[in-house]
Structure formats: C-alpha cells, structure tokens
Structure 1
Amino acid sequence: MRNTFSLLAATLLGLTGSPALADNLSFTLDNQTPNMIVQFYATPADGGTRSELLKKKGLFGGQTRKLTIADGSDACVYKIRAVFENDSFYDVRDEVDFCESDSYTLAD
C-alpha cells in the first residue's frame, strides 16, 4: 500500500510538473571605451537581486567578453551599471532587454 501511494504521488508530480527554472541569459559585453571596466552589474528592472557579472576579471577597452546572468529570475529587462578602473561609473538610463539582444556595447 505504501509503495502504491509513493508511485501515485510521483506520477501526479510528474503530470503537474514543477516550477520551471529560469533560463540563464547570456550576452556579449563590448567595451568600446578607453577605460577598463572592473565591475559590471545587472539588476532586474522590476526589482530583485543585483548580480555582479565580471567578478574578479576586468574588461579592457576595445575588448569583448561573453557574460551570463544566472540570477534565478525569469526577467529579461535589466538595469545595468559599469564601474571603471578610475572609479567612475556608468548607469544605463534605459533598461536593457537581454531576451531581445545578445550584445551590449559601452562607448564614449
């Protein structure tokens, strides 16, 4: 009887499914400024946890790097911030939809 209940419960869970996990969003960051980006952050536009995407690696001017937002949300639209080696920073005024675009360029 116990085994039958367990099998039934497992079957029902399989039919109803579990919550879908959010997909990771990958994009290419293109740094067309003369300065190295030392930190790059993305925060879901509707609120949520800010993700640091460059970690301990910088991105020199003129270079690109593929970054992944793996924050567990199902958001597409993000606010971003780039911090440069000279302690200046750049906050993107417009929100960026990474589901629609697979690259983002920072330029002077």
Structure 2
Amino acid sequence: MRNAVSLLMAGLIGLAASSAYADNLSFTLENQTPNMIVQFYATPADGGTRSELLNKKGLYGGKSRQLTIADGSDACVYKIRAVFENDSFYDVRDEVDFCENDTYTLAD
C-alpha cells in the first residue's frame, strides 16, 4: 500500500511539474521592410524575462524565418520589439498572441 501511495504521489508531482511550463511557441517572422532586422525581442505581456529570438542572426528585408520562444513561461501574449540595422526600432503597439498566430509580419 505504501508503495502504491508513493508511486501515486510521485506521478502527481511529475504531472504538476510538467504542466507548470508551456510548450515552446514557434512562429514565422516575415520581414516585409527594406531593412535588415538585427534583433527581435519578445517579452510576456504580463511581465517576465525578455528573450532575444534572432540569436545574432539578422533577417534581411523580404525574408522570413521560423523563431521559437522558449522562455519557460506559460504565456501566449507577448510584447515585441524589432531593432533594425540602422539602430531604429519598432515596438508593437498591440500585444501579440502567439498561441493564436503562427506568423507575424513586419511591413512598412
């Protein structure tokens, strides 16, 4: 009986630990601007750690790339910022729900 209770408790603890983290969120970033994006950040809308998603790989205008948010949070909604090669930047005014959107396009 003790072993059965121990196994049940271990299973419940494992289940709770695995559900505490969301799956990684993947989406396609489309750069429809004439400028190269040199940094692309995502921050959970309710606060948390900002993640740099391009990892020092630029994204030229007219190109797209699959990116993954693997920040260990269970967030779906993010604030994002794109930094371009000329040091200008673009902050998204509205929050983006990456659980609902698998593509995000930056355009002029």
What is the DSSP-based 3-state SS (H/G/I as helix, E as strand, rest coil) of the residue aligned with 2:16? coil
- TM-score scaled to structure 2, two decimals? 0.90
Alpha-carbon distance in structure 1 between the residues aligned to 2:12 and 2:102: 34
Shift of residue 18, structure 1, vs aligned partner: 2.4
Deviations 1:53-89 (A, max 9, x none): 0011000000000000000001000000000000000
Aligned residue pairs: how many?
A: 105
- Which residue does the alignment assign to 2:28? 28
Matched, 1:18 2:16: yes
Letter in 1 for 2:40: F
State the identity as a percent. 77
Instruction: State the Cα distance separating 1:6 from its structure 2 match.
Output: 6.1
Larger radius of gyration: 1
Separation (CA, whole Å) in 2 of partners of 1:5 and 1:100: 45
Q: State the TM-score, normalized to the length of structure 1.
A: 0.90
Deviation at 1:7, TM superposition (A): 6.1
Is residue 9 of structure 1 aligned with residue 34 of structure 2? no
Distance 2:45 2:81 in 1: 12
Who is 2:95 aligned against? 95
Displacement of 1:11 in angstroms is 2.9
Partner of 1:52: 52
CA distance in 2, matches of 1:6, 1:90: 57
Q: Which runs of 5+ in 2 are unaligned?
A: none
Write the letter of the residue equivalent to 2:45. Answer: A
Name structure 1 gaps, 5 residues minimum: none
- When the two chains are superposed, the root-mean-square deviation of aligned CA atoms in Å is 1.5
Q: CA–CA distance in 2 between the matches of 1:53 and 1:69?
A: 7
Q: 1:8 offset after TM fit, Å?
A: 3.7
Partner letter of residue 16 of structure 2?
S
